[in-house]
Structures are given as C-alpha cells and as structure tokens.
C-alpha cells in the first residue's frame, strides 16, 4: 500500500512539474488513445439507454412545459380580455369626453361622469343605480345623458349613489320636439308595448319617420323642464293617425342603447338648482 | 492470479463505464460514481492489499481517460481501497451494512480529498458545488448503486471464507 501511495505521489509530482510534452503526459496521451475504443464502445452500448432516458426526461419535461404553457395561456387569455375590456372602456370614455367638450353639450351643466352600479333587474323595472350621489353634487331630477343621447333623470339621491329612471320607464315623461319641423310633444312609455312614443302631437303638425327628436327644454316663469333643450332623444320610427284620435301616434326609437349602458353623465346644475 | 485478472477487468470496465456513461448521468445535481463503488466492493471482498491495488489501477485508468492530473485519483482511490479493505477484513467482515456504510463514508472522503488535493495543486476546487450542491445526491446515488454492484462483484469474486454467527475466525493452516 505504501508503495502504491508513493508511486501515486511520484506520479503526481512528476506530472505536475513536467511540461505538457513530458514523458508522463505522452504516456497519458497514449493511454487515453488506447482507452478511446473502449469508451466509444461503451458509449455505443449505452446510447440506446441514454436515448431512452433522454426521451423519458424530455417527455416529463414536455409535460411540465405543457402545464406551464397552459397556465400562461390562461393568463394571456385573461390579460387579453382585460385589455380588450380596457380598450372598450377607453373608447366609451373617450366618446363621453368628446361629447362633454362638444358644442352640443348643454351649457349651465357640470358633467359628472359615472358608471352604472346596478342595472335594471328586468324589463318591468327601468331604473338603475349610478355611482355618484349627493357628495358629488347630484340633485333630484338631474338629467342623465350619454354621448348618444338622453338616458333619464335622477329620481333618488343618496350620499354616494343615485337612482336614475330611464326614459323608457312608465313614469317618465319628457317634453320633446321634432328637430326638423319643430313639432312638440310628450315622450312617454307606450300603453300598448315596450316602445316609447311621442304623444300630444296634433294631426296638423308635421312629423315624418326618420326625424330626429330632441328635448324641448321649455321655460316658463317659475317653472321649467328638468331637461335642457337640445339633448338628442331618438329618431321617429313610425307615424300613424286615426280619425278618432286628435293626435298622431308617433313611435320613437331612442338613440341610447339601454341594454348596454355603462358610462354616463349626470348633468349637475352649475347654479345648484336642477 | 485469476482473481487479480478478474479484479482488473472489473475495475477497468467500471472505469470505462464511469468516464463514458455514468459521468454524463446527472440526477438532481448528483453524479453516481460507479468506479468508487466498484473499488469499495472489491476492497470489501478481497481485503486491503487488493483494494489498494484496485484503487490505484482504477485511478490510473480514470486519470488517463479523463486526461486529469496523473496520480491524483490513484492516490485517493489507493487510500480508499486500503482503508475499506482493512475495514472489511476486520469490523466490517460479513456485515450487511458494511458496503453501504463504506460507500457513504468514502464518497464523502473522496469528495473532500479530491477538493483538498486539487486545492493544493492549484487546480479549480469548487467547494460549494462539490460539498453542498452535489455531495448528498452523490452519496444517495452511490448507495443506490451499491446493492447491485456489490452483488455483481460478490458473484465475480466470491468470498474466500464465510463466517457464520457464533463461529470465530477460521483456523489458519
């Protein structure tokens, strides 16, 4: 044993001290060349097993990758939906902003941008809740609009929220006029169906399908409409008249899509009174 | 003589397999050392002198094949072969746990000794990698190799005498 240790130490010392062209290095090189065929043979024998191990490893790796990629896909989908929603939200808000800065926006009113918190629970209830209230300056009967047109008016005000009654509600009445002819009437819920009609328009007044209807915004001493003049309401979809009814039966298709309401303006009066 | 040839062939093929196949097998950061386990098995089965010779030869083949500093592995494996051989001849004789205990201990000592020698020679000695990142995995893998390899070695190199419980050492002569 001592001999072997000494030989080992001698080998170490000589190998360490000699140059790379020394005897031991040459001997090692020769020995390595002799061993090479054995190594190649061992490699060839082991290759199928190595391949199998690599395949199994790759398979488990592929499974892990698949799992990871699926997780990433789910996240990417969620992100895409979020981004899409953000883009849509941005578009809607941009429209609202453009409207609030446009010349058609009612003067004397301060726009309070808000979103719908609670949508109408059913077709029988045409009221929704928005996220602004008394603290924001909302008052009873404040008009509510979108960039498309008139939505309704505030019927209840609380500290941070308010209830808005849509113009499609049975209790809602809006003084309107035909933008083309100036014929005035009262916009209200139809007795016979879910549509809204322009009532109280005498037969002599001229109203044609396709005419645009806007809020009349009348004023009399001590009394005025809660809606400012000029807010788009809808377009006349049909006009009928009968011999027994002194007024025309005018159906109005509102500009606002009440099924897709998200953002809107509550028009708070600048003077403090609606 | 035949025994010596068997040991040489066994160690030689273990060294070839180690450098060409097993050194490439990395499991959880550890690399199994077939050659070390083979030297331990031979040393346990044939004693200190054969163990030392097997270690020296194994180290020589290993260093030659890997073009490492000649004598480095020889020195370590010679000492390991001798020490394990002595252990096999004395307290470890015919004890079932002897191969496992020996493998676990010498894997640690081999790593430590290799580090120390490389450090002394001024060669790269990444202590953290050797002692923390791969040592325990290496011990576990070597322990896994011990059972089949010791069985093969025992088949090739059957014990020269058996000691049954209650008996003492066989009488010489």
**Rounded Cα–Cα distance for residues A152 and A169 (Å):** 9
- CA–CA min distance B97, chain A (Å): 25
Percentage helix, strand, coil for chain A under 3-state DSSP, each rounded to 5 = 35, 30, 35
Which pLDDT value is given to residue B172? 47
Higher pLDDT, B164 or A56: A56
- Taking an 8 Å cut-off on Cβ atoms, the answer to whether B21 and A46 are in contact is yes
CB A126 within 8 A of CB A169: yes
The SS3 call for residue A129 is strand
pTM, entire model? 0.51
- Taking an 8 Å cut-off on Cβ atoms, the answer to whether B70 and A42 are in contact is no
Which pLDDT value is given to residue B160? 67
Indicate the residue of B16, B75, B78 with minimum beta-carbon distance to A39.
B16
Assigned domain for B162 exists: no
- CA–CA min distance A65, chain B (Å): 18
Number of residues that make up chain A:
274
Give the containing element (helix H, strand E) for B115: helix B98-121
Which pLDDT value is given to residue A124? 61
- Taking an 8 Å cut-off on Cβ atoms, the answer to whether A5 and B20 are in contact is no
- Which residue in B114, B115, B79, B83 sits closest to B101, CA to CA? B83
Task: Specify the number of domains making up chain B.
Answer: 1
The structure tokens listed for B102 are 């020996």
Residues in chain A closer than 8 A to B63 (CB atoms): 28
- Number of Cβ atoms within 10 Å of the Cβ of A140: 14
Assigned domain for B116 exists: yes
Assigned domain for B21 exists: yes
- Which residue in A92, A94, A91 sits closest to A102, CA to CA? A94
Assigned domain for B70 exists: yes
**Rounded Cα–Cα distance for residues B101 and B107 (Å):** 10
**Rounded Cα–Cα distance for residues B55 and B53 (Å):** 5
A109-269 CATH: 2.40.10.340
Domain around B86: 3-156
The structure tokens listed for A97 are 């902003």
Which pLDDT value is given to residue A97? 82
Give the containing element (helix H, strand E) for B103: helix B98-121
Residues in chain B closer than 8 A to A7 (CB atoms): 56, 71, 74
Q: Does A39 touch chain B (CB under 8 A)?
A: yes
- Which residue in A126, A129, A107, A145 sits closest to A266, CA to CA? A145
Indicate the residue of B17, B19, B48 with minimum beta-carbon distance to A1.
B48
Q: In CATH, what number is assigned to the domain containing residue B21?
A: 1.10.1760.20
* Mean pLDDT per 10-residue section of chain A, whose length is 274 residues: 84 81 80 81 80 79 86 90 85 81 78 83 74 89 90 89 87 90 89 78 90 86 83 91 86 86 85 58
Assigned domain for B165 exists: no
**Rounded Cα–Cα distance for residues B163 and B168 (Å):** 7
**ipTM confidence:** 0.73
Q: Could you tell me which residues of chain B have a Cβ less than 8 Å from any Cβ in chain A?
A: 12, 16-17, 19-21, 24-25, 48-49, 52-53, 55-56, 59, 61, 63-65, 67, 69-72, 74-75, 78-79, 82, 121
Q: Does A124 touch chain B (CB under 8 A)?
A: no
Q: Where are the domains of chain A?
A: 12-101, 109-269
The SS3 call for residue A262 is coil
Assigned domain for B31 exists: yes
- Taking an 8 Å cut-off on Cβ atoms, the answer to whether A35 and B16 are in contact is yes
**Region of residue A80 (left: phi > 0; alpha: psi -120 to 50; beta: else):** alpha
**Rounded Cα–Cα distance for residues A231 and B166 (Å):** 112
Residues in chain B closer than 8 A to A40 (CB atoms): 20
């Amino acid at each position: 044993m001592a001999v072997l240790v000494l030989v080992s130490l001698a080998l170490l010392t000589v190998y360490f001290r000699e140059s790379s062209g020394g005897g031991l290095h040459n001997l090692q090189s020769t020995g390595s060349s002799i061993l090479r065929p054995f190594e190649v043979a061992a490699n060839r024998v082991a290759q199928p097993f190595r391949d199998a191990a690599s395949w199994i490893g790759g398979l488990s790796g592929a499974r892990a990758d698949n799992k990871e990629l699926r997780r990433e896909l789910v996240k990417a989908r969620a992100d895409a939906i979020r981004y899409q929603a953000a883009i849509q939200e941005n578009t809607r808000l941009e429209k609202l902003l453009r409207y609030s800065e446009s010349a058609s926006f009612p003067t004397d009113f301060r726009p309070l941008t808000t979103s719908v918190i609670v949508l109408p629970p059913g077709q029988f209830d045409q009221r929704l809740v928005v996220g602004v209230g008394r603290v924001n300056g909302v008052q009873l009967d404040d008009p509510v609009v979108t960039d498309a047109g008139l939505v309704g008016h505030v019927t209840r005000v609380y500290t941070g929220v308010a209830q808005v009654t849509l113009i499609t509600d049975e209790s809602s009445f809006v003084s309107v006029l035909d933008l083309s002819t100036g014929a005035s009437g009262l916009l209200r819920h139809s007795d016979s169906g879910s549509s809204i009609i322009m009532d109280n328009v005498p037969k002599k007044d001229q109203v044609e399908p396709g005419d645009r209807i806007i809020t009349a915004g009348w004023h009399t001493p001590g009394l005025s409409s809660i809606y400012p003049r000029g807010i788009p309401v809808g377009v006349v979809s049909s006009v009928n008249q009968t011999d027994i009814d002194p007024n025309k039966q005018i159906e109005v298709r509102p500009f606002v899509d009440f099924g897709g309401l998200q953002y809107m303006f509550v028009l708070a009066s600048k003077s403090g009174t609606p | 003589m035949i025994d010596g040839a068997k040991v040489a062939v066994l160690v030689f093929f273990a060294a070839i397999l180690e450098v060409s196949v097993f050194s490439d097998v990395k499991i959880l950061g550890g690399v199994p050392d077939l050659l070390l386990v083979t030297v331990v098995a031979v040393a346990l089965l044939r004693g200190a002198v054969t163990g030392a010779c097997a270690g020296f030869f194994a180290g020589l083949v290993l260093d030659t094949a890997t073009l490492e500093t000649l004598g480095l592995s020889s020195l370590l494996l010679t000492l390991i072969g001798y020490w394990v051989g002595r252990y096999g001849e004395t307290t470890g004789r015919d004890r079932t746990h002897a191969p496992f205990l020996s493998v676990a201990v010498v894997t640690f000592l081999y790593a430590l000794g290799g580090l120390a020698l490389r450090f002394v020679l001024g060669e790269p000695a990444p202590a953290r990698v050797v002692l923390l990142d791969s040592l325990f995995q290496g011990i576990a893998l070597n322990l896994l190799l011990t059972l089949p390899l010791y069985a093969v070695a025992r088949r090739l190199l059957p014990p020269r005498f058996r000691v049954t419980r209650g008996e003492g050492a066989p009488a010489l002569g």
